[in-house]
Structure 1
Amino acid sequence: MAGQTDLNSGSVSGNSSRDDVRTHFTTREGVYKLITLAEYSRANRLSGYTAIQSQQGAALGQGSNPPVRVTFVSLPSDPSGYCDRICFNYGRELYFYTYKGTKKPADLSKPVDKRIYKGTSPTCHDINKLTISSESVMLLVGFTGGQIQLVDPIRKEIGKLYNEERIIEKTKVTCIKWLPGSPNLFLVSHVSGQMYLYSEDVTCGGPAPPTYQLFKQGAGFSVWTCKAKSTRNPIYRWVIGNGAINDFAFSPCSKYLAVVSQDGCLRVLNYDAMELIGLATSFFGGLLCVCWSPDGQLVVAGGEDDLVTVWSFQQKRIVARGQGHRSWITVVAFDPFTTLYSSQSSSSKSLSKEGVDTSVTSNGTGGIDGEVETKSSSDIATCYRLGSIAMDTQLCLWELTDDVLKQPYGSRSRASMVSGPGSPPSSLKFTGQTPISGDRSSSSSSNNVVTITPVNNLTVSPAPSSATATPVNAAGSLTQRLANMTFSDRKSGQQQEAAATDLKSHRKNFSLGSGRNSTSDRSANPSLVTGCADPLRLIGTQACPRLDEIPMLEPLVCKKVSHERLTALIFREDCLITACQDGIVCTWARPIGPSPHHTSTSTPTNEGTMV
């Protein structure tokens, strides 16, 4: 059937030009071109669909091979003149190459370091930017078995191994990052829904598993410490939500942490104070990736609902969603080099009270690489450039303009959007939050309000409702929601048939957090995570608005750029980097010319980003 999506292979059948693999695409700043000479992969890789056939059934978080992740680092100096290094994983292998940019071909026969592991596979990695030197790099690697290894690919040394006997955690590592500004602390998340803080120079203790005591508790999360006579790893254990923690990202100011889970929730936390700042949910299914805007004003997530979700730090709500992908979104990342800024007076500044440092580095799966020019306090972002990739093998570029992001809640309506009766009309409010124009929580239907209070007495539960409130049937409500979803206007008969096939495929393939944890701690202590709001009850609130209540964005660019599902997206000053499950890392050269980084006008472009 024309236009039918195959979720297993990530390919799309049909003769549409959209389904052709592109080697270039055009944006407002010019033409981006694929540099075939700057392609990095394993030296003896399988080519074409042979590799695809050998990986049938592989998907994010399942199958034989973990997703390919990419990390960049720039050394202070190098005798050859090439200071950039690229690290990526493929299967059981880990590669570390000299990256020569867009001008010189890649030499795959001479990796700086190559490692092949037995019995486990690397899933993610991160490099400490504070401790790098021309002779040494501290590279953290997480594995499918739950272990963490510290290696130096330049000296070819193996450092410490954490959780070696898997007594701390037995599930796969999903994300690993050095704490911003710390030379020795790093954070690790797992499929179990737990996150651990380690110190590089502290041991993991003896053969006995650690004993924990509750340190702090909040809505949907709890923090625990080890009960030991001396300091040992892990220093802290975070238990967040229900289901796997798929990704997390620190804000540019390093103060806040955004976490996305398989339960479909995006949680924004004050990391140091251990407080919940905001909550948002997917339209359905789990959230798989998250990132911050360069100025820290927006948090964007993507996942199994095929939608890009934009959450505003100031307004503490979802302000827009983007529809353009036809399968699960695996990475979202902002491009700071094409974000437009305008000078405004101090009276019209909209920056948060906390100072933000826009010097951001790659997080290993998607983001921005290298130093970003720090804008003066009078420069306000008026048009953000965002990139997303998905299992549908497509790259989408989005433009988030100021006028779209500041629309009042509930002001937009689409006739094609049908709200199912299974979605309860509840509201979500944060204590101390100023009501937003159009917010139904200020209306007479405020009986069903989910209130989030400060962390010291944090509880999330529906307030006593009137007799008109009815219990929510999770299965029926979810089925009704899926059946009533419509992402476009009235279609022809053939298009409706293709859309129905895609929707049927989604019903079979999307997943929700099971609400169970693989560790005995959660089953033995059901109160570890308290106050988790039912995602189904949040439909129609500011945490999960219906699709006719917020702006729906269309991508500026949506091109198929690979034969295999895409797994990594990184923006650099002279190029952007994509990687696919086939283990191929591609370089796309930016247009030659001045960067559209700043505009003297305060009116951003509106190049068809909203429908």
Structure 2
Amino acid sequence: MAAEGGGKEMNEIKTQFTTREGVYKLLTHSEYSRPNRVPFNSQGSNPVKVSFVNVNDQSGNGDRICFNVGRELYFYIYKGVRKVNILSLPVCPWLLFQAADLSKPIDKRIYKGTQPTCHDFNPLTATAESVSLLVGFSAGQVQLIDPIKKETSKLFNEERLIDKSRVTCVRWVPGSESLFLVAHSTGSLYLYNVEHTCGTTPPHYQLLKQGDGYAVHTCKSKSARNPLLRWTVGEGALNEFAFSPDGKFLACASQDGFLRVFGFDAAELHGTMKSYFGGLLCVCWSPDGRYIVAGGEDDLVTVWSFSDCRVIARGHGHKSWVSVVAFDHCTTSVEDSDPPAEFSGSDEEFHEQIHFGGGRDRANSSQSRLSKRNSTDGRPVSVTYRFGSVGQDTQLCLWDLTEDILFPHLPLSSGSSGTPANSLPAPLPRSNSLPHSSGPAGGSIIDSAFIATGVSKFATLSLHDARKERHEKDHKRNHSMGHISSKSSDRLNQLSSAARTAKADAAKTLGTLLCPRMEEIPLLEPLVCKKIAHERLTVLIFLEDCLVTACQEGFICTWARPGKVVSLS
């Protein structure tokens, strides 16, 4: 069992919990698992992961769910919480709990010799007849499948010539139907194009750009082939990465304890942060792209300001490693302080007032409206960000990030006014405009014109044109960099030496902007901290009507939001 100790009440598995907006309830009929519902023996297995996609089905139930358990991969219709109007009476919106029929998956796959570790749908290509699903594996391969058509799939890194280590994270590049990123436990990050092959010989690389703790290489080839680019980031595994809501920036959480944020197209380092200790395992962006939350082996959640490139708060509530962090766009609120307003859950009125989390256009339009409102009427804006976290302690924590944390007026500690290296910057300005990379990026390495030209020449990415409107920790530390040319090998040896030096100096970051001391920044307490599973938690996803969690036993649970469950009595 993942969590032990404490009294009977502490070890009791909760089926509901209360926040200021109401009661969240576990929907037992909406539980997904292996068809026999037998708990999975999780020893030595990769973490259970869950991915969602909406296929715009005319039936009104277009949600689809994919999850992996051990060597198995399942694809189902996701019923979750559905609102049905009984007898067309507006005063009687009942919620019907349609039990998931686990005996009839749309697709089920069992793999031999390797295990699925992560997966991601492409929302741009999803239809009721076809979806594009990327699946990463423990042996380093990446598979592109269509679980609806069940046609012959494409396999990348099939011969493991690119990277032999476990795939830790895979994501489609936002706005692209063909480009995707793959992270490995070597610390390497590869950019692929589904239209290109991987070649039959090990790739040779040419250094394109390097900076503090990272380097970017192109693949030397007379014809287009995968990978288009290879990033080497930090030391040890790259545990997770996440794109900003506008798709322009990439946040990487690494086993060396560093959060690194890059401008994706230009491959420029925007800013960094260091964990209090241990590796970072997970990372996520706020719906407006202004803040990043990371969690890891220090049992903390750390909030980092994108515009100021600094840690602004830490949250302590978990008793073990934090495995997933995620923002809740439905309870993140921005409102005028006069007159006061109260938003909760996922009410339609709330979505009409703010449009966080609905995509690039919605986030930008919300920010633009707030900027205009704040500059024209001069009234202060009240801000509350809600995010959640789950960990190996089997607990779910919910956190509120409020304006007293975001916009402090006075320094927290006189000790923070020492040497410049240990001092905290000025309080965050009350600006509602989206941040730009022209701020204190701390890592403008090479002229952006060069990188843009290089990417266009070597990778034929057309990333700007492609943009449209709109883990578990690895305990091993492999440094297999593949087969490279002698010149690139020399450069990589230099980078490896620099990485070792950086590791030796990591302890010196405590008390600096990279890693403030505990007393130098606010310490958040969770609004809710409940034990909700017997095994370590590996998934937390916020949806409009519910939130979804999963544990290593292979049970995927749906928690209905307040007001979404109506008693029939």
Fold equivalence (TM over 0.5): yes
- Which residue of 2 is the match for residue 479 of structure 1? none
Does 2:44 match 1:88? no
3-state secondary structure, aligned to 2:324: strand
- Of 511, 525, 530, 1:559 maps to 530
Q: 1:528: Cα distance to partner?
A: 3.3
Q: 1:556: Cα distance to partner?
A: 0.3
- Of 250, 256, 263, 1:257 maps to 250
* 1:411–1:20 Cα change, 3 Å: same
Letter in 2 for 1:528: L
- Which residue of 2 is the match for residue 538 of structure 1? 509
Cα displacement string for residues 419-463 of structure 1 (whole angstroms, at most 9, x for unaligned residues): 9xxxx988279xxxx95269xxxxxxxxxxx994521299xxxxx
- Which residue of 1 is the match for residue 398 of structure 2? 397
Cα displacement string for residues 334-393 of structure 1 (whole angstroms, at most 9, x for unaligned residues): 001011211489xxxxxxxxxx995457xxxxxx9xx98963623367000010000000
* 1:373–1:545 Cα change, 3 Å: closer
Mapped contact 1:409–1:550 kept (Cα < 8 A): no
Cα displacement string for residues 159-200 of structure 1 (whole angstroms, at most 9, x for unaligned residues): 210000001110000000000000100000000000000000
- Which residue of 1 is the match for residue 21 of structure 2? 29
Q: 1:511: Cα distance to partner?
A: 9.4
- Of 279, 283, 303, 2:296 maps to 303
Cα displacement string for residues 570-595 of structure 1 (whole angstroms, at most 9, x for unaligned residues): 0011000000000100000001179x
> For 1:175-214, what aligned pairs fall within 5 Å after superposition?
175-206=169-200, 208-214=201-207
Does 2:23 match 1:44? no
- Of 448, 455, 464, 2:445 maps to 455
> For 1:43-442, what aligned pairs fall within 5 Å after superposition?
43-47=35-39, 51=40, 54-55=41-42, 58=43, 64-79=44-59, 81-102=60-81, 103-206=97-200, 208-343=201-336, 358-359=356-357, 375=366, 377-379=368-370, 382-407=383-408, 411-412=412-413, 427=421, 435-436=425-426
Higher helix share: 2
Counterpart CA distance in 2 for 1:218 and 1:183 is 30
Letter in 2 for 1:217: Q
Counterpart CA distance in 1 for 2:241 and 2:564 is 34
- Which residue of 2 is the match for residue 518 of structure 1? 480
Counterpart CA distance in 2 for 1:451 and 1:425 is 21
Letter in 2 for 1:121: Q
3-state secondary structure, aligned to 2:383: strand
Counterpart CA distance in 1 for 2:336 and 2:494 is 50
Counterpart CA distance in 2 for 1:195 and 1:519 is 11
3-state secondary structure, aligned to 1:44: coil
3-state secondary structure, aligned to 2:366: coil
Mapped contact 1:358–1:374 kept (Cα < 8 A): no
* 1:10–1:229 Cα change, 3 Å: same
Q: 1:15: Cα distance to partner?
A: 1.3
Counterpart CA distance in 2 for 1:303 and 1:326 is 11
Counterpart CA distance in 2 for 1:191 and 1:23 is 35
Mapped contact 2:190–2:231 kept (Cα < 8 A): yes
* 1:190–1:384 Cα change, 3 Å: same
Cα displacement string for residues 260-279 of structure 1 (whole angstroms, at most 9, x for unaligned residues): 10000000111111111111
3-state secondary structure, aligned to 2:278: coil
Count the aligned residue pairs: 480
Counterpart CA distance in 1 for 2:318 and 2:165 is 30
* 1:407–1:530 Cα change, 3 Å: farther
Q: 1:412: Cα distance to partner?
A: 4.0
Counterpart CA distance in 1 for 2:3 and 2:249 is 37
Identity %: 54
Mapped contact 1:408–1:436 kept (Cα < 8 A): no
Q: 1:14: Cα distance to partner?
A: 2.6
* 1:546–1:435 Cα change, 3 Å: closer
Counterpart CA distance in 2 for 1:129 and 1:65 is 28
> Which stretches in structure 1 are left out of the alignment for 5+ residues?
1-8, 59-63, 346-355, 362-367, 439-449, 459-509, 595-611
Counterpart CA distance in 2 for 1:512 and 1:106 is 35
Q: Given the two structures, how large is their TM-score scaled by the length of structure 2?
A: 0.79
Q: 1:35: Cα distance to partner?
A: 0.4
- Which residue of 2 is the match for residue 474 of structure 1? none
Counterpart CA distance in 2 for 1:21 and 1:591 is 19
Mapped contact 1:285–1:512 kept (Cα < 8 A): no
Letter in 1 for 2:287: P
Mapped contact 1:425–1:541 kept (Cα < 8 A): no
Letter in 2 for 1:74: N
> Which stretches in structure 2 are left out of the alignment for 5+ residues?
82-96, 339-353, 371-380, 429-439, 449-472
Mapped contact 2:545–2:564 kept (Cα < 8 A): no
* 1:564–1:196 Cα change, 3 Å: same
Q: CA RMSD in A?
A: 3.1
* 1:452–1:104 Cα change, 3 Å: same
Mapped contact 1:73–1:127 kept (Cα < 8 A): yes
* 1:437–1:77 Cα change, 3 Å: closer
Counterpart CA distance in 2 for 1:200 and 1:311 is 34
Counterpart CA distance in 2 for 1:45 and 1:116 is 17
Mapped contact 1:221–1:530 kept (Cα < 8 A): no
Cα displacement string for residues 283-325 of structure 1 (whole angstroms, at most 9, x for unaligned residues): 1000000000001010000000000000001211000000000
Mapped contact 2:239–2:474 kept (Cα < 8 A): no
